C-alpha cells in the first residue's frame, strides 16, 4: 500500500495551531488522500528536523513562530521569501529539492483589504515584534506605500537590526515608549506571541488609539482577548486576523508541488 502523503505545521509552541482542523477539512472536501499534523520542534532542533523532513514522511511543511527565519536558510527560497527574509512554507519540487516561499505578505495585506478597506491611508503604523512574521508585515506595508512604520520589540537589538534592513521608512521604538505613538497610529499590528494561549498577555493600552484605527493581530488562540475585545466594542472596528488567507496562499503552491501517484498533499500556513 502506498504511503499516505502528509504535511505538517512546525512551531514552538505548536499546540495552539488550528491548521490540522482546516487542512483535514479541505483534504476531505476535495477527496484528497492525505494527512496534516502538528510538530512541536525546539529552535535548536529545527535544522535537523528539516534535514530529515522527507524521511519523516512529509511532502512539505508550514513554519510558524519562532522558525521562519531559520526556514529560509534550510531550503532554496523563491524571490519573495528572499526579499522578506523569512519563509513560512516548505515543499519538495519534482527533483526532490526542498524549496521555500512566504505567503504571510499576501495573507496579511489581502485580509486587511477585505476586512478594513481604506487601512492604507494611515500615516503611522505600529508593528509589534521583530521576528519572521514581522518581516513579512513590514515588507507588505512598505510595498503598499506606507511611509512611516514604527517598530517595537522587547529586544532592542532586534528592533534596530530589522529597522536597518528596511531603511528610513521603519523607525525603531523602545518597548516602553509604545504609548507615545499610539494616539496617532492608524494601524496597529501584533506579530508577537504575547496574548497567545499559554503566553504572557500583551500589555498595550489600545484605548489610546484613535477611534478610527484598525488592529491586526496575528494571534488567533484565544480568538478574542479581553483587551482587544474592549477596543473593538468601543471603536466599532473589528480585530483583523490573517490566518485563512495565509493558508490559501500556501495551498495554491504546495497542492501543485505535492502531487504524487497516491494523491496530493496541501501545505497551508495557519
Sign of CA dihedral 201, 202, 203, 207: negative
Cβ distance 133 to 63 under 8 Å?
no
For 96-120, b/e burial (b = at least 16 CB within 10 A) is eebbbbbbbbbbbbbbbeebbeebb
Indicate if 197 belongs to the active site. Answer: no
Residue pointed to by grid coordinates 518581516: 135
Q: How far apart are CA 107 and CA 250, in angstroms?
A: 9
Q: How far apart are CA 217 and CA 188, in angstroms?
A: 8
The single residue of 24, 28, 68, 197 carrying the catalytic annotation is 68
Question: How many residues are given for the chain?
Answer: 270
Tell me the catalytic residues: 68
Amino acid at each position: 500500500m502506498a504511503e499516505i502523503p502528509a504535511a505538517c505545521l512546525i512551531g514552538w509552541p505548536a499546540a495552539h495551531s488550528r491548521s490540522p482542523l482546516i487542512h483535514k477539512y479541505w483534504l476531505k472536501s476535495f477527496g484528497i488522500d492525505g494527512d496534516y499534523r502538528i510538530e512541536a520542534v525546539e529552535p535548536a532542533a529545527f535544522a535537523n528536523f528539516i534535514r530529515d523532513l522527507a524521511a519523516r514522511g512529509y511532502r512539505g511543511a508550514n513554519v510558524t513562530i519562532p522558525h521562519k527565519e531559520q526556514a529560509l536558510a534550510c531550503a532554496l527560497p523563491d524571490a519573495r521569501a528572499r526579499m522578506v527574509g523569512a519563509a513560512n512554507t516548505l515543499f519538495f519540487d519534482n527533483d526532490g529539492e526542498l524549496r521555500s516561499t512566504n505567503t504571510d505578505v499576501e495573507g496579511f495585506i489581502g485580509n486587511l483589504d477585505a476586512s478594513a478597506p481604506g487601512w492604507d491611508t494611515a500615516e503611522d503604523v505600529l508593528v509589534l515584534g521583530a521576528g519572521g512574521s514581522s518581516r513579512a508585515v513590514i515588507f507588505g506595508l512598505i510595498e503598499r506605500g506606507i511611509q512611516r512604520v514604527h517598530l517595537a520589540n522587547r529586544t532592542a537589538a532586534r528592533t534596530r537590526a530589522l529597522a536597518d534592513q528596511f531603511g528610513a521608512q521603519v523607525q525603531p521604538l523602545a518597548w516602553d515608549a509604545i504609548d507615545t505613538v499610539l494616539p496617532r497610529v492608524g494601524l496597529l499590528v501584533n506579530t508577537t506571541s504575547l496574548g497567545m494561549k499559554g503566553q504572557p498577555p500583551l500589555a498595550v493600552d489600545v484605548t489610546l488609539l484613535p477611534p478610527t484605527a484598525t488592529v491586526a493581530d496575528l494571534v488567533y488562540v484565544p480568538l478574542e482577548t479581553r483587551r482587544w475585545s474592549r477596543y473593538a466594542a468601543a471603536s466599532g472596528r473589528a480585530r483583523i486576523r490573517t490566518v485563512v488567507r495565509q493558508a490559501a496562499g500556501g495551498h495554491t503552491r504546495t497542492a501543485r508541488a505535492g502531487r504524487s501517484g497516491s494523491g496530493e498533499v496541501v501545505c497551508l500556513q495557519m
